[in-house]
Amino acid sequence: MEINGVAHTILRVSKFDQCVAFYDRLMPALGLEAVFHSDEFVYYVGGRTALGIRRAEFVDHVHRERAPGLDHLCFRARSREDVDELHRHLLAIGADMVRAPEEGPWAPGYYSLSFRDPEGIRLEVNHVPGKGVLAEGATFDPGA
């Protein structure tokens, strides 16, 4: 068997209303639309990807990127221009930018940006041309 991608990711957040407002502005820019919207759960679908935002039961928990659990979530763009266009959108909506678009050492041609949602969860959008780390002669350094 070879999987056909990741079907969905569900994020539990204590700042539910702030996160939903943020993701309602972010997801359409990534081609995802809300197919379910309630006071406890929102589900976005598009591009063979789905992301859910669920209200956390433990609201005193603070997300820490390097603690056990989710480190960050990365979406793949179809082009460098898409990454640049998203950067302009993120600036327009006042996103908490970690870094502007730049090339990185993780794969040949790796180009990405990074930002945080209101919960403090780091999100990344990247573009990797061709086969990325699967290309002949490519190396992968997770410490880079």
Instruction: Give CA–CA dist 53/23, Å, rounded.
Output: 9
What pLDDT shows up at residue 68?
Answer: 84
Q: Report the chain's C-alpha Rg in angstroms.
A: 16
Domain 71-144's class?
alpha beta
What is the model's pTM?
0.90
- According to DSSP, the β-strands at 111-116 and 122-127 are antiparallel
Distance of CA 17 to the CA centre of its chain: 18
The burial class, CB within 10 Å (0-12 / 13-18 / 19+), for 88 is exposed
* Mean pLDDT, range 7-20, rounded to an integer: 95
Class of domain 1-57 (CATH, top level): alpha beta
Instruction: Identify the weakest region by mean pLDDT among 17-31, 60-74, 127-141.
Output: 127-141
At residue 14, what is the residue type? S
Q: Do domains 1-57 and 71-144 have the same CATH topology?
A: yes
